[in-house]
Structure 1
């Protein structure tokens, strides 16, 4: 397993000023570099405490690039539907050069109705806009004199500058929460996969991974080169009881944040998002104890978390990459730093590996 950290803020001005959150997060980036973690990632969301402090992952990752030399820098994910592909391709290519070729580019569809409304984008178009945006960005990265005639965007001939440093382009990931078809499409296209185990059962996720891996192989992509990244909230403390106390508080606040963000699904229906009208009720049924029982959270003393990770490896394979959600903003910087140090020093080495 490889390990990195992912930032998904679920705080707003009443909880913590944005400047303080970013200062703490960037100090944790420094620590990730020092401890040898594989990557740093950050989400894209708007308006709500649920991710709203991160409307532009590239801005944060550019700051992280200037402070580091080794750790990879990932979007988790950025949304093609909300930007022109020429603009997004250019920003990510620029970041790839600034960072010395360390960008991992993950793209997602988004799922919050209020975000689509703000951009004036019909939510029913999300899948088509996602596919078109990723296709256009990859062509802009890897071709010259690009002429693009899509459903939503037409341009060219244009040659993007700067060219990405990584050839033919940065690794492309697809971020999916629920869709089995998205996993299949990612495998066929040779895109890597990011997902969140918290939103589906273990059996559902195992099924999606089988589909992804089989479609990857059937499409003729090099065997064993596919990358799968999981994101897990993570709180580790020498005192397992203290870790549980902190983890419960953090999970309760995270659940409250998403409950507000998905509220508009009560009055929204979309064939592109079957079943999403049930999200509001699902967030009300979300319980910390159940998540712990189902290994949806990495919380406890070092030996407890090591056991949780061994179970995850048994379920999904020991070649997956784990992104640790160490700082949603509700716990202190010191708590997040303790989690990272204990993972690096007491958990990961006992899994039979180590950090770089």
Structure 2
């Protein structure tokens, strides 16, 4: 099983200087490189302290400079917010500068505050995303590119540099909704599975993806399908549960709290099984417990949903330490 880390750049309560957030993240990334992790996946967000990383490509260059083997993933490049030619250039440049270590994850996004600030009508975001993905892939593989779409048009453009990996870096699409899963499967794309789905929902989505791939004439055999999971580890079960509860409440407040103008879009109309949202995360979403117990949970997921790639989002510094020292060696 491959193990990666979904790296957020959270600034809870704006405590401490923001530059410390980046410094600590880069220290983690260096540990990942030494510890045999497959990849760090950098999360792009805008206009929220939930994760202050508006450019995963810029930060990816710095991460690549600090590492030698670790792959540099984007989870995700919010493709609907970019001009696709610029996006193709930036990711290709990162691939060249990293020595061919890019994993490109692309997503539409869902926060209306981001769409509105960047002048992207939310109702157009899905179409813009899909056009952008098509343009990026063609820009990487065609010597000169002409394109006439609904949102982007250009003629006879040579996009440079081309990626170091040929024909292009491995590609994943973020797929949370059934519509996104169906579209990705219909095109034969591999998918990134989100950290907010419950364990039951993960299984349902994974089975749907496999079925839709087969309908389109593709197979899931041999694919890496990273599954993002919030993780809380501690020396005791009780302490881990406390970390999970604290992390869940922070996530709910920071990600969809009343201080955010995009609160409604970020809540995504979830029912949370009728529970308090934070308790839902603890009960149904977050992997938590001692290192040995979490390894057992991961092993069970391997059997239940064909888990082959776990993308961990640690909820504390202690969780990351235990993940690197005690969980990673067992996987």
Using the size of structure 2 for normalisation, the TM-score is 0.91
- Is the Cα–Cα contact under 8 Å of residues 12 and 18 in structure 1 kept in the other structure? no
Check if 1:293 corresponds to 2:283: yes
1:335, distance to aligned residue in structure 2 (A)? 4.9
Check if 1:211 corresponds to 2:208: yes
User: Where do 4+ consecutive residues of structure 1 move more than 6 Å?
Assistant: 280-284
Q: How does 1:264-303 map to 2 (within 5 A)?
A: 264=262, 266=264, 276=268, 278-279=269-270, 285-288=276-279, 290-294=280-284, 296-303=285-292
Q: How does 1:301-340 map to 2 (within 5 A)?
A: 301-318=290-307, 320-326=308-314, 331-332=316-317, 335-340=319-324
Q: How does 1:1-356 map to 2 (within 5 A)?
A: 1-12=1-12, 14-51=14-51, 53-177=52-176, 179-196=177-194, 198-200=196-198, 202=200, 204-221=201-218, 224-260=221-257, 264=262, 266=264, 276=268, 278-279=269-270, 285-288=276-279, 290-294=280-284, 296-318=285-307, 320-326=308-314, 331-332=316-317, 335-345=319-329, 349=330, 354=331
- Is the Cα–Cα contact under 8 Å of residues 113 and 265 in structure 1 kept in the other structure? no
Distance 1:220 1:239 in 2: 47
1:17, distance to aligned residue in structure 2 (A)? 2.4
Cα shift readout 1:236-260 (whole Å, capped 9, x = no counterpart): 2233333222232222211111122
Aligned to 1:135, the other structure's residue is in SS state: helix
Distance 1:85 1:240 in 2: 46
Cα shift readout 1:303-334 (whole Å, capped 9, x = no counterpart): 2111211222232114x31111125xxx44x5
Aligned to 2:109, the other structure's residue is in SS state: coil
Cα shift readout 1:252-307 (whole Å, capped 9, x = no counterpart): 211111122765354x7xxxx9x94x35999983133x43433x212211121112
Unaligned runs of 5+ in 1: none
Q: Name the CA shift for 1:136/1:107 in 2 (closer, same or farther; >3 Å).
A: same
Using the size of structure 1 for normalisation, the TM-score is 0.85
Unaligned runs of 5+ in 2: none
Q: Name the CA shift for 1:313/1:110 in 2 (closer, same or farther; >3 Å).
A: same
Distance 2:228 2:110 in 1: 18
1:195, distance to aligned residue in structure 2 (A)? 1.5
- Is the Cα–Cα contact under 8 Å of residues 140 and 160 in structure 1 kept in the other structure? yes
* Higher relative contact order structure (alpha carbons within 8 Å, sequence separation ≥ 6): 1
- Is the Cα–Cα contact under 8 Å of residues 145 and 157 in structure 1 kept in the other structure? yes
Q: Name the CA shift for 1:214/1:71 in 2 (closer, same or farther; >3 Å).
A: same
